[in-house]
Amino acid sequence: MSEVVILSQEEVKSCLSISDAIKAVTEAHKAFTKGRVELPPVVHLNVEKYRGEVDIKSGFVEDFGLIGTKIASGFYDNPKLGLPSGIAVIILMDLKTSIPLAIMDGTYITAIRTGAAGAVAASVLARKDSKRVGVIGAGTQARMQVLALKELFSLEQVKVYNIRETGSKKYASEMSQRLGIEVKAVSSAKEAVSDVDIVVTVTPSKKTLIMNEWIQEGVHINAIGADAPGKQELDPTIMKRAKIVVDSLKQCREIGEIQHALSQGLIKESDVHAEIGEILIGKKRGRTTEKEITLFDSTGMAVQDIAASNVVYQLAKKRGMGHLVKLL
Amino acid sequence: MSEVVILSQEEVKSCLSISDAIKAVTEAHKAFTKGRVELPPVVHLNVEKYRGEVDIKSGFVEDFGLIGTKIASGFYDNPKLGLPSGIAVIILMDLKTSIPLAIMDGTYITAIRTGAAGAVAASVLARKDSKRVGVIGAGTQARMQVLALKELFSLEQVKVYNIRETGSKKYASEMSQRLGIEVKAVSSAKEAVSDVDIVVTVTPSKKTLIMNEWIQEGVHINAIGADAPGKQELDPTIMKRAKIVVDSLKQCREIGEIQHALSQGLIKESDVHAEIGEILIGKKRGRTTEKEITLFDSTGMAVQDIAASNVVYQLAKKRGMGHLVKLL
């Protein structure tokens, strides 16, 4: 029996650039739309006693010949113990035999594939000349989203608003260095989303943070934060004005930003323009006018994890990286 | 960040005796009945193209302070490639922080905890003086069931019937050596279950193998094989005569042996006497007369996997076994 390779977060990072993650996520959405992917329902475990939750996302992708399982957690008291609040492990198995091939840190992969998904959506939904980005939230994913957008757009300015000012100030100083452009902490959500081309929302919010009247014509919105029942960042009436694109309709109607507009009857499922994969394979169109408002509802899919971890696995194998261990 | 320990099948085997597995499974069922366990629905992935299936069983157990996930597969063409047809991997994480603690082979754990579950059920449901066992099926689990029963009963004779005679003959010669008692391959299912004290069914069958009229008074039946929709080994009218005990009612009504008697209206859910944990904690009684027929419907639970893998993890840690690797 062959051995399984164990890859640490550091090794994973060295094997996955943002541009490769963008390519992998693009392939993931195309494979999904072509029906070459099987994704069972996400398992959700609530560990209320320790303010934690665990999601298990799994599936298989014929194009990559892989079965993938990601166990991802959010434990919100971990930082008090000096531990990361989000942890993930990914297990890849051969699709033909189920033999385990690789076990790797999935924390970084989750972060980078989510950033990549936002950039991929913006590439077909935002105006090509988008220069200014408004970000709500100042955590890891608020960083990833903008780093990935920078790969595809000639960004000139980023404004960031966070509920705690220390967070947005730290973000501004760190990200202005990393991006080499102006990154400004602003004092209201309204200011962050005014006079920008792309709005990115990346918070754990459960109520409206962005009002409809603040959103100007021609703007693209990446709605990243809402990925569980009850989570919400946008005034649901924005959905009535926007061309809505989702990663997976099946997921977004339950756990995405659109859950609220749907349950309030402001939109119907048929008002959702497309799943992003349908645009990427050319079956549907992305942005068609300068003035339309576009919105991408991102909930995160196992197929993105499998595609990104496959890039890591292939490159690590080529480089002879990781620990080989006998499991079976 | 602390390291995660990787344990191979060989290491797992050296850390888990049948008697320890019996103790662990007993604790698992007690914890489940006491509500100290959270078990989300089992994820089922069908890989039809390669005649394979993957089940993901997960949950957490407060008593052990662990979150556990088992990815278990059945790929029925694997033996042609010299690979095992069933493969499993178990991941244990700390319940308070979700930090991964151990990743181990779950193939052996699945086999031994299922055997242990049968023995635990028989310990409260079979007659104390049970000596003769009739087994239908001659695979790994047919071995495990009898090895585990041997721990708790003074067995004198085993009869085995298998659809392919080569299988039952191999079983008989191998198991008579391992058990040190008479193990006889017989030529019909009827012969296997006649004049025995305990009947064990362990096949992937989807139709009746054992007729009602073959089952004598006082017999205990361990119905192990049926663990998916459509699977069946027993004439459903047996359920009308038997005192029925299940591992988990929620699972058994969907995927266990009782699914057929329920859907045919032969029994109602209220005819199920108990979950095994209720008997083990003394809330309900097991066998009460010499003459009653008892039946244990086993579908396999994540809590059994977590309990058994915890024994392995604790002992391996004490012994300094396994590969320590950095994951996060």
Q: A160 and A101, same structural domain?
A: no
Q: B153 and B294, same structural domain?
A: yes
Placement of tokens 């359920």 in the chain: B239
Residue A270 — φ and ψ, nearest 5°?
-70, -10
pLDDT digits (tens, 9 = 90+) for A267-282: 999 999 999 999 999 9
Q: Is the pLDDT of residue A1 over 70?
A: no
Instruction: With H, G, I as helix, E, B as strand and everything else as coil, classify residue A146.
Output: helix
What residues of chain B lie within 8 A of the CB of A38, using their CB?
45-47
Of residues A47, A59, A107, nearest to B328 (C-beta): A107
Question: What total number of domains does chain A contain?
Answer: 2
The answer to whether residues A287 and A220 touch, using CB atoms and an 8 Å cutoff, is yes
Of residues B56, B103, B325, nearest to A58 (C-beta): B56
Interface touch B40/A38, C-beta < 8 Å:
no
**Which residue from A minimizes the CA distance to B54?**
A98
Q: B136 and B90, same structural domain?
A: no
- Tell me the pLDDT of chain A averaged across its residues: 97
Residues 10-69, chain A: which have Cβ within 8 Å of B?
Answer: 10, 38, 40-41, 43-47, 49-50, 52, 54, 56, 58-60, 62, 67, 69
Q: B167 and B292, same structural domain?
A: yes
Residues 255-274, chain A: which have Cβ within 8 Å of B?
Answer: none
Q: Which residues on neighbouring strands pair with residue A186, listed in sequence order?
A: none
Q: Which residues on neighbouring strands pair with residue A6, listed in sequence order?
A: A103, A323
Q: Which residues of chain B have pLDDT under 50?
A: none
State residue A64's pLDDT score: 96
What residues of chain B lie within 8 A of the CB of A8, using their CB?
325-328
Q: A247 and A166, same structural domain?
A: yes
**CA dist B40 → A247, B69, B240, B249 (Å):** 25, 11, 30, 14
Judge whether B22 lies within some domain.
yes
**CA dist A104 → A305, B137, B181, B323 (Å):** 11, 38, 47, 15
What residues of chain A lie within 8 A of the CB of B60, using their CB?
45, 47
Rg, C-alpha atoms of chain B: 19
Judge whether A114 lies within some domain.
no
**Which residue from A minimizes the CA distance to B78?**
A97
**Which residue from A minimizes the CA distance to B57?**
A43
- Angstroms from B101 CA to nearest CA on chain A: 11
Mean per-residue pLDDT for A60-65?
Answer: 96
pLDDT digits (tens, 9 = 90+) for A303-320: 999 999 999 999 999 999
List, in order, residues 6 or more apart from A265 with CB less than 8 Å away. none
Q: A292 and A249, same structural domain?
A: yes
What residues of chain A lie within 8 A of the CB of B45, using their CB?
38, 40, 58-60, 67
ipTM score assigned to the predicted complex = 0.93
Q: B292 and B199, same structural domain?
A: yes
- Angstroms from A31 CA to nearest CA on chain B: 16
B71 has a chain A CB within 8 A of its CB: yes
**B326 tagged catalytic:** no
Q: A70 and A99, same structural domain?
A: yes
Nearest to A303 by CA among A251, A243, A232: A251
Helix A18-33 to helix A107-125 angle (10° resolution) is 70
Q: A168 and A85, same structural domain?
A: no
Of residues A43, A58, A93, nearest to B40 (C-beta): A43
Judge whether A133 lies within some domain.
yes
Residue B151 — φ and ψ, nearest 5°?
-65, -30
Domain residues for the domain of A315 are: 4-109+303-325
Strands (E), A108-203: 132-136, 157-161, 182-185, 198-201
The residue from A13, A23, A30, A70 that is catalytic is: A70
Judge whether A235 lies within some domain.
yes
Distance CA A31, CA A43 (A): 22
**Which residue from B minimizes the CA distance to A106?**
B328
The answer to whether residues A86 and A72 touch, using CB atoms and an 8 Å cutoff, is yes
Q: A58 and A138, same structural domain?
A: no
Q: B96 and B10, same structural domain?
A: yes
What residues of chain A lie within 8 A of the CB of B69, using their CB?
56, 69, 71
Distance CA B29, CA B119 (A): 13
Of residues A62, A97, A325, nearest to B81 (C-beta): A97
State residue A249's pLDDT score: 97
List, in order, residues 6 or more apart from B250 with CB less than 8 Å away. none
Report the CATH number that the domain containing residue A8 is assigned in CATH.
Answer: 3.30.1780.10
Nearest to B208 by CA among B147, B274, B126, B264: B264
Mutation for testing the B interface, residue in A4, A97, A99, A101 having most B CBs under 10 Å: A97
Q: A207 and A148, same structural domain?
A: yes
Interface touch B95/A47, C-beta < 8 Å:
yes
Judge whether A118 lies within some domain.
no
What residues of chain A lie within 8 A of the CB of B95, using their CB?
47, 50
The residue from B70, B150, B159, B231 that is catalytic is: B70
Judge whether A117 lies within some domain.
no
State residue A2's pLDDT score: 73
Q: How many CB pairs under 8 A join A and B?
A: 151
Report the CATH number that the domain containing residue B224 is assigned in CATH.
Answer: 3.40.50.720
pLDDT digits (tens, 9 = 90+) for A188-230: 999 999 999 999 999 999 999 999 999 999 999 999 999 989 9
Judge whether B42 lies within some domain.
yes
